């Protein structure tokens, strides 16, 4: 038996571009689609064997088209920008939820270091 929390409920909110997941440890997280997209576990984003990770740019208005179950351990997220590789396992999703603020700030810092400015999403109040 794994110590990894498992989802008890997964809800896609297309209008607000968010994914909501409740876990069996009582935690619940809302993930913006942009956040999930830029932290996709795919080789295209993370690189192969830790090499060649690619900073994802201009994903502020990406949305989730579909969520596909993968066995009893993960989901595959299909985005409206055509990206559909990478399996989000329960441990990874739980970690993303718990450390969302930290990871988001790291992403924004990487954008700054690359000389890129993030355009606010159409969904953001100032967007």
Look up the pTM and report it.
Answer: 0.92
Q: How confident is the model at residue 127, as a pLDDT?
A: 47
Give residue-wise pLDDT tens across range 31-90: 999 999 999 999 888 887 667 789 999 999 999 999 999 999 999 999 999 999 999 999
Residue 63: which of 10, 16, 5, 116 has the closest Cα? 16
pLDDT of 17 strictly over 70: yes
Burial (0-12, 13-18, 19+ Cβ within 10 Å), 21: buried
Give residue-wise pLDDT tens across range 20-34: 999 999 999 999 999
* Dihedral sign for Cα atoms in the order 95, 73, 75, 29: negative
Integer CA distances (angstroms), 103 to 8, 71, 83, in order = 24, 27, 20
């Amino acid at each position: 038996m794994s110590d990894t929390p498992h989802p008890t409920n997964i809800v896609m909110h297309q209008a607000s571009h968010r994914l909501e997941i409740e876990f069996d440890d009582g935690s619940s997280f809302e993930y913006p689609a942009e956040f999930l997209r830029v932290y996709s576990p795919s080789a295209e984003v993370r690189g192969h064997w830790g090499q060649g990770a690619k900073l994802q740019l201009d994903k502020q208005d990406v949305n989730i088209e579909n969520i596909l179950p993968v066995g009893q351990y993960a989901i595959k997220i299909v985005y409206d920008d055509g990206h559909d590789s990478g399996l989000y396992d329960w441990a990874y999703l739980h970690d993303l939820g718990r450390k969302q603020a930290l990871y988001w700030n790291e992403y924004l810092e990487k954008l700054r270091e690359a000389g890129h400015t993030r355009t606010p999403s159409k969904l953001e109040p100032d967007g």
